Structure 1
Amino acid sequence: MEYLTLEDFKVGEKKEFGDYLITKEEIIEFARKYDPQPFHLDEEAAAKTHFGGLIASGWMTCSVMMRMFCDHFLNRSASAGSPGVDELRWKKPVFAGDRLRCVIEVVEVTPSRSRPYLGTVRSKVLVLNQKDEVVLSLYSIAMFLTRAGLEQMIENQK
């Protein structure tokens, strides 16, 4: 398998991927474990809120985004981790039955000054529902090996 390395990323490049169906059961299961607020757990209580119904935790939406990111992108790249994200925003509620997908746009590619085998890619990430509404946005900062760094890693594994 050929992996994307730092040199493969170009500023302005966009990728779209994913198709994830949000279910009521998954919303409740995630909320029970990680975000037990009434509008994530109880349909009756959620119906009385300004949301008008059960919604997914924003953290669940982030987790779904990360799964799509891995399945369709990161696991096909020379990803070397991430120092974090910037400007995370939950723009609209996510309801059971929503279908989510990702759009990423490369905004910056920076080779490391101190580690020539590595660099960072800053991307704007949008998660959209089936109505093309942005439900989540963030800026991802991801580290990627260069071609030489990937070759060296493969050589070291022999």
Structure 2
Amino acid sequence: MIAFDDLSVGDTFELGTYDVTETEIREFAERYDPQWFHTDPERAREESMFGGLVASGWHTAAMTMRLLVDGFFADSAALGAKGVEELRWRRPVSPGDTLSATVEVVDTEPERPDRGLVRLSITTTNDDGEAVCTMRADVMFGRRE
């Protein structure tokens, strides 16, 4: 299990992959971000600047979170985040894309005897290696006893 004491500036973790489907894009959008270029494939194809259906940026962030949990946080002493900064949606995400993510430790700061704060730089990329989402997150990690 990865604890605060195991993390150093410059550590990098490659996370797994996530396959994006049209069904999931539409279901997420209909529930949380029902703009037509997320919900209506025909209109998106004919009228949007994207040339087809694209995922909501919030959906992209949620898929990134899934990669983080499965590929990093699940086997760590992560205690939750204090926030996210510099969240950017760099490119649209389309049905059929496969996303992957990389996490880099950019700062560590002991806070209390039982935990520390780790600033992470997170980059999510598509099949072509192009960044689709970037962010920095401040995450609390438990310390080893």
Structure 2 length-normalised TM: 0.97
Please list the CA deviations of residues 66-93 of structure 1 after superposition, one character each: whole Å capped at 9, or x if unmatched: 1111111101001111111100000000
Identify the residue that residue 110 of structure 2 maps to in structure 1.
111
Identify the residue that residue 85 of structure 2 maps to in structure 1.
86
Structure with the higher fraction of residues in strand conformation: 2
CA distance in 2, matches of 1:143, 1:15: 17
Q: Does 1:145 align with 2:138?
A: no
Identify the residue that residue 121 of structure 1 maps to in structure 2.
118
Matched letter for residue 40 of structure 1? H
SS of 1:81's equivalent in the other structure is strand
CA distance in 1, matches of 2:41, 2:142: 46
Identify the residue that residue 77 of structure 1 maps to in structure 2.
76
The aligned runs of 1:1-158 (5 Å cut-off) are: 3-47=1-45, 48-112=47-111, 115-148=112-145
Q: CA deviation at 1:45?
A: 1.4
Calculate the aligned-residue CA RMSD, in Å. Answer: 0.7
Which sections of structure 1, spanning at least 5 residues, go unmatched?
Answer: 149-158
CA distance in 2, matches of 1:50, 1:72: 33
Which sections of structure 2, spanning at least 5 residues, go unmatched?
Answer: none
Task: State the identity as a percent.
Answer: 44
Aligned pair count reads 144
Runs of 4+ displaced beyond 6 Å:
none
SS of 2:80's equivalent in the other structure is coil
CA distance in 2, matches of 1:144, 1:17: 18
CA distance in 2, matches of 1:127, 1:36: 23
CA distance in 2, matches of 1:103, 1:132: 11
